[in-house]
Each structure stands twice: as structure tokens, then as C-alpha cells.
Structure 1
Amino acid sequence: MSVAAVDLGGLTESNCCAACNGDHCVISGQPYCAHPRKGGLHHHQLQSDQGAMRRLQTARDMLLRSATELQIASNKA
């Protein structure tokens, strides 16, 4: 699964992607949650699954961008 094809919509600091459910995590591609703030990838995927690593990094980047945008907005107020 390519990063471009991954739908991370709905991802927030505390919420998983809208497409995640109990049987499938968008980030890990497995039946466990890999949300960057909730635990991340399991050790075996960190060493061998480049796709999952790219999805995790994309998710981290999205969360950082959202936090930065909130900070900028609060500074303008």
C-alpha cells in the first residue's frame, strides 16, 4: 500500500484515522493500533516494513502540522 493511497483522514492527537477499526489500523496495516501517540508500530514492523514506517512518518508529520497550525492560529487571536 503506497503512502499516497493511504487515507489518514480523521487522524488527530487523540483519534485514529476514520478508516481504522478493531480489525485493521491504516498505519500498521495490521489488527493493532499504531497511532503515533498511542503506541506506534510493533518492533518487528520497525525493522522490516518500510510501507508501515512511511505511513507512520506521514501520520507524525500530519499531527505536527496540525499542532503547528493551531499554535499559529492561537498566536493571531
Structure 2
Amino acid sequence: MTKIEVLGTGCAKCKRLFANTEQAIKELNITVDLVKIEKLDEITERGVMMTPALIIDDEIAAEGRVPDVKEIKAMLTV
């Protein structure tokens, strides 16, 4: 199963990334393990220096920006 982590401290961009990710998952009709990580120490443990960030299967897919739903869908169908 694909593991997706959305990292961010709760800012508007972080919330938008989580919503875009949920929408992409819904549109693709796939089952994933989606986790939201808000604790700063857990974010830095993953090597992320800028939030929001999107990690797919332990690889940073986006950092410091909010990909739109179309881009996230493309990341998930590679």
C-alpha cells in the first residue's frame, strides 16, 4: 500500500496540500495510508527543511510548495 505523508505545522498552505492530496486520492479511487505530520521534530527527522511537504513512500515528492490535484495525481500514478 502506498504511504503518503503531508508535513506541515498547520498553516493555510499545509491545509491546502492535505486537501489537494485527499482530492487526488478520491479522484484516483485508490487506497493509501495517508498521514498528516505537524510536529516540527518529526518533520525535520524526515529531512524536510521547508513546509508544506509531500512524501510518497518515504521519498520527498514536493517541498515548500503546494502541488495542485492534477500534479499529485501524476505523482501517484508513476
TM (norm. structure 1) is 0.29
- Larger relative contact order (CA 8 Å, sep ≥ 6): 2
**CA radius of gyration, larger in:** 1
**Is the strand fraction higher in 1 or 2?**
2
TM (norm. structure 2) is 0.29
